[in-house]
Amino acid sequence: MKLKRKSERKTDIPTASLPDIIFMLIFFFMVSSVLKKSEGLPITLPEAKQIQKLESRVHVAQVWISKSGMISIDGKIVEPASIRNIMYKKRVADPQLTVSVRADRQTPMEVIDKVHKELRKADALKVNYSSRTAT
């Protein structure tokens, strides 16, 4: 006597709830991730009576100068001698580049002058000195 073989079982994985699971994971990672709050050195900006805001941050390189004389370009600590090479490469890559200098109010003027001279040698002539509005 020959036995009939049962039909093969189909083992499909239900995918109806897959989009829900994906959106829950995306939402979880968006909520649990930590965003970077600031890029530069801890500084206190000087006050000004009248300021003009930069229109766009697309063509802007940030230069931070702390009161102890530390210099940071776009979040990386650099030596004053290397400012010329770094900014020249940025200027060649982006001819519309504006340099935004953010210096602490207690930064010695000789450090700011040294940075300004290095920017001039790098042909980065569009310079913006950041400040906050006097209250």
pLDDT at 87: 92
Give the mean pLDDT of 76-96.
91
Model pLDDT for residues 87-101, shown as the tens digit of each residue: 999 999 998 898 989
Model pLDDT for residues 33-69, shown as the tens digit of each residue: 887 665 667 777 777 776 667 667 778 888 989 888 8
pLDDT at 85: 93
Residue 128 buriedness (CB in 10 A; 0-12 / 13-18 / 19+): middle
- Read off the pTM: 0.61
The domain containing residue 80 runs over which residues?
57-133
Phi-psi group of 51: left, alpha or beta (phi > 0 → left; psi -120 to 50 → alpha; rest → beta): beta
Residue 9 lies in a domain: no
Asked if residue 111 has pLDDT above 80, the reply is: yes
Number of domains in the chain: 1
Residue 36 lies in a domain: no
pLDDT at 33: 85
Residue 40 lies in a domain: no
Residue 123 lies in a domain: yes
- Angle formed by the axes of helices 83-93 and 109-121, to 10°? 50
Q: Assign residue 111 the CATH number of its domain.
A: 3.30.420.270
Residue 26 lies in a domain: no
Residue 2 lies in a domain: no
Q: Which residues pair with 114 in a beta bridge?
A: none
